[in-house]
Amino acid sequence: MPPSHSRPKVNELSLLGKPTVVKNPARIPAAIRTCRNLREVGQLHAQFVISGFIIDGHRTAGKLIESYVSMSHISNALSVFHSIHSPDAFAYNTIIRGLTQANFPYDSLLLYQQMLLRGLIPDNYTYTFVLKACSHLNSLFEGQQVHSRIIKAGISPDTHLHSSLIHMYATNSNSDCLGCAQRILSDFSVQNTVIINSMISGYLRHGHVKIAREMFDGMVAKDAASWSTMVSGYTKNGMYVEAFVVFREMMMSHIPPNESTLVSALSACAQLGALDQGRWIHAFVDRKIGTGITTLTLATSLVDMYAKCGSINCGFQVFEKMPQRDVVTWGVIISGFAMHGQASKCFRLFDEMLATGIRPNAVIFVAILSACSHAGYVEAGRLYFNQMVQDFGIRPSIEHYGCMVDILGRAGHLAEAEELIVSMPEEPNSIIWGALLGACRTHNDPRRGERAFRRLIELEPMSGDRYKLASHIFTAAGEKEDAIKMRRLIKEKELETTCGSSFIVVDGVVHEFMVGDTGHSEARDIYMMLEEIKRRLKMAGFVARRDQVLLDIEEEEKEEALSRHSERLAIAYGLLSTKAKTLIRVIKNLRVCRDCHSAIKLISKEFDREIIVRDKNRFHVFKGGECSCMDYW
């Protein structure tokens, strides 16, 4: 402790080794206010405990709880709260707020109930916080009860309470509530930005993008939250390009982005694989360091963005520099390496995480198991699955079973995979059967595939994709009749199938290609490039795998159809529009087919380009004729 020349503040006294009682209780709240961090609050708190000072009464307890809540230290806040004999409304309000903030909304409601039982009168603050808890819990029934109590109590809602009510209804997963929110909105003559933001976020949540946009455009005063809401709303609705355009508009407006906007924009970058934009945001964040903009969430988003854009090493650099990490951060980095097929790195990070004392949650195990699946580590997968249940008491969710089916199925243990599905305590969903169906395709097992397929169409009768996959399986097994039948059914039942599409970002512009797309402004050149690719691949001895095409067409046409897969168009455009040796990054919405996979390997060699393809499941880094997935995906 360096010698201090100025008078020590109250909360510094204990550091001088002399626990001191604050004599005048009236001064205590002021003393608490001077605390700048958790440690100082703790010191003051300790003084009360040591000196036997009665915290109850006055405003001391409330202020202490408030300090802990504002410093996100809910357990200390709770211990103070529970030490009070008869907490007042302020103490209740603050702890209710803190519990929701700390993600324990259910406990908030319990304390609200206790508060009522004790005869305390809830005020506007109470209702605001309780409604927030209801929003978190997505519990309409409780929300409605609170709403009616507000009405019965004759409380006239102020702006805060009003926006909480609207938020509760607008963001409930039951889309009927949108109407309630809308009615409350129109009943209230003064409409402020916060309320409109809530309404917009409700519309976006239910996919009414157009209405949301109109409301947003009509806003007189947009704030940072309005912009963030739009950016994240577009991202959640899969409209990544629009998300980006809005973000750019915001950067040009006079409203500076805050942490949330940047997090939303980074999430759009991650989905879109827009590495350059992501880097730009990273540089922007770096410039702002010192203004307190870089928080745990933002840094985690950066790691996630790099991982999902295929730059796992940059992501890891950010990760290593982070002063603190929570379980989400670890989840991001582990699933990042999992997507890149680097299972052993995932295992090391998992051990490191345990060593820092962070308890893994269910998501961490999904990441670890998916790493096992991508790398083909069957035994490790079994071990982690058991460890999760036995050592950490995590009940396996449908996702975990999905990973296990995937691990076993991909590795060819189809019977065991099917047994696992049958033994599941929960009813298997379409993801589970889908994983088995996919594995049956990889390992040519049409009979088992048929069983999986039948279960799938019971669950998702309108998914044409499943019929398509089944038809692939029959084609590969040489059962042409059945394959054709599947395709006929897709037509007859007018089922929707997901069309293959790929993105490539060149000079900040997103170019999207569908299968056989001719709509691009440079389509002529792209198709000429495809011809050139075909010529060079042929010279290098490439033979297309025609069994990948199920259409009932001539052999030559099949080859033609394969060469127009969306990822090939995107790569052709990449070769065409970037300088020699520039890395090409492509994002595809489905899995890469075997034929394209072998073709891209060869393209990387013949054209001397590193090509990174992110497909539905993972990354493929093609370089010098090889792929990072070692042909296992």
Partner DNA sequence: TTTACTAAGT
Binding site for DNA (CB under 7 A): 29-30, 59, 62-63, 66, 70, 88-90, 93-94, 97, 123-125, 128-129, 132, 135, 158-161, 163-164, 167, 171, 192-195, 197-198, 201, 223-226, 228-229, 232-233, 236, 258-261, 263-264, 267, 295-297, 300-301, 304, 326-329, 331-332, 335, 361, 363-364, 367
Q: Residues near 184 by Cβ (< 8 Å), separated by ≥ 6?
A: 162, 165, 166, 169
The neighbouring-strand residues paired with 509 are 506
- Which amino acid, 197? N
Please tell me whether residue 550 adopts helix, strand or coil conformation.
Answer: coil
Rounding to the nearest 10 degrees, give the CA dihedral for residues 571, 575, 577, 579.
Answer: 140
Nearer CB in complex with DNA: 56/123: 123
Nearer CB in complex with DNA: 34/518: 34
CA distance 445 to 476: 10
Residue 514, φ and ψ in degrees, nearest 5: -100, 175
Nearer CB in complex with DNA: 90/607: 90
Nearer CB in complex with DNA: 250/469: 250
Q: Give the number of other CB atoms < 10 A from CB of residue 111.
A: 23
Nearer CB in complex with DNA: 202/449: 202
Minimum distance of DNA from residue 166's CB (angstroms): 8
Nearer CB in complex with DNA: 269/572: 269
CA distance 424 to 420: 6
| Rg, the chain, Cα only | 29
Minimum distance of DNA from residue 256's CB (angstroms): 11
Nearer CB in complex with DNA: 342/577: 342
Minimum distance of DNA from residue 71's CB (angstroms): 12
Q: Give the number of other CB atoms < 10 A from CB of residue 614.
A: 23
CA distance 187 to 164: 15
CA distance 623 to 411: 25
Sequential DSSP letters for 359-424: PP-HHHHHHHHHHHHHHT-HHHHHHHHHHHHHTT-PPP-HHHHHHHHHHHHHTT-HHHHHHHHHH-
Rounded alpha-carbon distances, angstroms, from residue 245 to 143, 508, 532: 36, 11, 34
The neighbouring-strand residues paired with 623 are 626
Nearer CB in complex with DNA: 253/497: 253
Nearer CB in complex with DNA: 269/575: 269
Find the length of the chain. 633
Nearer CB in complex with DNA: 135/604: 135
Minimum distance of DNA from residue 245's CB (angstroms): 17
Minimum distance of DNA from residue 441's CB (angstroms): 26
Minimum distance of DNA from residue 521's CB (angstroms): 33
Minimum distance of DNA from residue 451's CB (angstroms): 31
Contact 619, 586 (CB under 8 A): no
Minimum distance of DNA from residue 24's CB (angstroms): 13
Nearer CB in complex with DNA: 226/566: 226
Nearer CB in complex with DNA: 13/224: 224
- Both tokens assigned to 292: 């307190």
Please tell me whether residue 215 adopts helix, strand or coil conformation.
Answer: helix
- Which amino acid, 76? N
Minimum distance of DNA from residue 473's CB (angstroms): 30
Q: Residues near 245 by Cβ (< 8 Å), separated by ≥ 6?
A: none
Minimum distance of DNA from residue 328's CB (angstroms): 3
Minimum distance of DNA from residue 629's CB (angstroms): 19
CA distance 618 to 622: 13
Q: Give the number of other CB atoms < 10 A from CB of residue 214.
A: 12
Minimum distance of DNA from residue 485's CB (angstroms): 39
- Both tokens assigned to 80: 């103070």
Please tell me whether residue 317 adopts helix, strand or coil conformation.
Answer: helix
Q: Residues near 418 by Cβ (< 8 Å), separated by ≥ 6?
A: 436, 448, 451, 452
